[in-house]
Amino acid sequence: MTDIGILTCSNTTQDVGCSVFGCLRAVSEAQAPFSAVEYPDGVRVVGVISCAGCAGKRSHEKILRRVGALAASGARAIHFATCMVDGCPFLARYESVIREAYPELAVVRGSHARPPEAFLERLDAAMAAPRQSVPEIAAALRAGA
């Protein structure tokens, strides 16, 4: 059995509330990329962690801390969640620094089948939708809105 970690997009998990159900379903049902073809002895998820968000110049350092936590939990492979494959502007850089810092880890793109284009378009729109901050919500309540 191969111990794996899944690295998700924090925008997807934190901003729009993805529970990683697609990733976990693919693991539990041994669907690609977790099938017997890719992992003949099966997989065990030792951790799921989000990236640091679109953190700019320090994003590579933050991603290594997160991958370090997965490696310390026994992960032998790190799967970039499909949400990262479809939308992360830092993906190539993340792959590069992870491979350099953790050459013993397999780095894999994808955690389930790619969703339909209509889903991806709605996800993109949801992430771009305006949100209210806590101070804005409090001000609206004080104003009687």
pLDDT of residue 145: 64
Q: Which residues on adjacent β-strands are paired with residue 109?
A: 80
118 vs 54: CA distance, rounded Å: 24
Q: What is the pLDDT of residue 42?
A: 95
Beta strands in 1-145 (DSSP E): 2-8, 43-50, 77-80, 106-109
Task: Mark the ranges of the chain whose per-residue pLDDT is less than 50.
Answer: none
Q: Is the bond preceding 115 in cis, omega lying within 30 degrees of 0?
A: no
CATH of 2-142, one of 3.40.30.160, 3.40.50.2300, 3.40.50.980, 3.40.720.10: 3.40.50.2300
Task: Enumerate the domain spans of the chain.
Answer: 2-142
